[in-house]
Amino acid sequence: MDETRLAICREAFGRQMLAKAGIDRDDALREAFACIPREHFLGPPPWRISNGFSYVDILSSDPVVLYQDVLVALQEERGVNNGSPSLHAKGLHELAPRPGESVCHIGAGGGYYTALLSHMVGPAGKVIAVEFDEALAKRAADNLRPYPNVEVVNGNGLEWPRERTDAVYVNFAIHRPSISWVDNLAPGGRLVFPLCAPRRDERNRLAPHSSRGGLFLFERLPGEYRASYLSPAFFVWGEGVTGSMESYVALDAAFRSGGMENIRRLRWKAKPEESEWYSDEDWGLVAGPAE
């Protein structure tokens, strides 16, 4: 398919992903999906997609096949994929990056969603893309070379951002927010990340993917952090993430009990409150009535 027809496919793809995510209108995000060529971030064909249990070949080398809501393998042996476009449509819509803002993308993978962020903040904005895996970080740096407002870092995403940032977008599973993500949010800043309980194997060892979890939005307001549950989410467990088995079990139990939609605030570095959906020593998620 030639570039003119691919451009039409990308435009339709963007509209479909927003609709599937339940987004009535987001012109900036729709335009980003329409402008960024997904095939530039997935390597050469044959491409492999996940069906939830294994990977299968896409029996075509035409890039048009990539403009559907499928998980395309980046590192099949580790279960690392490009990610579901409709889920990222939801996350990016709630993150709401604006022209001129600074964004930190944690777990950038091959850089496709970094490129969408780059488009949305525009030339006056800046995106720092952090990837733990050295090979993926190099791949992202190569893919993102045409995007001058992006800096790629090979490092531990738990340690970034290192300065005040307007938005933080995290693409790996973790059982708690990182101190760097919360403390370095600028006033009015937004954090979107998948809070998840890890899956454990028959020997009680951590498995590569999360067991239960959800995508959450946190907003830094005067005197508090507002919190919202966005959708279910299952991600690759973050490399370098460590926690106690007690906290893993407690978070898993909270997800089993339900009620995530009632979460309203993030308790951060303060004493626990009575109406918490989940409580840890230095943070918690506080439930409450709809505003």
pLDDT number for residue 239: 84
Say if residues 168 and 185 touch (Cβ distance below 8 Å). Answer: yes
Q: How many CB atoms lie within 10 A of CB 64?
A: 15
E-state strands within 87-243: 102-106, 126-131, 150-154, 165-170, 185-200, 206-221, 224-232
Question: Does residue 30 form part of some domain?
Answer: no
How many CA atoms within 13 Å lie on the side-chain side of 202? 0
Question: Does residue 152 form part of some domain?
Answer: yes
Q: How far apart are CA 250 and CA 243, in angstroms?
A: 12
Instruction: Return per-residue pLDDT of the chain as tens, 291 residues.
Output: 788 999 999 999 999 999 999 999 999 999 999 999 999 999 999 999 998 789 999 999 999 999 999 999 999 999 999 999 999 999 999 999 999 999 999 999 999 999 999 999 999 999 999 999 999 999 999 999 999 999 999 999 999 999 999 999 999 999 999 999 999 999 999 999 999 998 877 676 667 677 789 999 999 999 999 999 999 998 998 888 888 889 998 999 999 999 999 999 999 999 999 999 999 999 999 999 876
Which ranges in the chain belong to alpha helices (H)? 3-20, 27-35, 85-95, 112-121, 134-143, 179-183, 245-257
Number of domains forming the structure of the chain? 1
pLDDT number for residue 26: 98
Q: How far apart are CA 210 and CA 198, in angstroms?
A: 4
Strand order in the sheet with 48-50: 55-57, 48-50, 71-75, 80-81
Question: Does residue 90 form part of some domain?
Answer: yes
Q: Which of 252, 249, 256, 254 has the alpha carbon at shortest distance from 285?
A: 254
Question: Does residue 44 form part of some domain?
Answer: no
pLDDT number for residue 209: 76
pLDDT number for residue 200: 74
Q: How far apart are CA 12 and CA 269, in angstroms?
A: 45
Q: How far separated are the first and last CA of the chain, in Å rounded? A: 49
Say if residues 128 and 161 touch (Cβ distance below 8 Å). Answer: yes
In which domain, by residue range, is 233 found? Answer: 85-287
Question: Does residue 271 form part of some domain?
Answer: yes
Question: Does residue 250 form part of some domain?
Answer: yes
Question: Does residue 173 form part of some domain?
Answer: yes
Contacts of 126 (CB under 8 A, 6+ apart): 102, 103, 149, 150, 151
Say if residues 153 and 160 touch (Cβ distance below 8 Å). Answer: yes
Question: Does residue 239 form part of some domain?
Answer: yes
Provide the pairing of β-strand 80-81 with 71-75.
Answer: antiparallel
Say if residues 31 and 11 touch (Cβ distance below 8 Å). Answer: no
pLDDT number for residue 242: 85
**CATH number of the domain to which 252 belongs:** 3.40.50.150
Token digits of residue 36: 């960024």
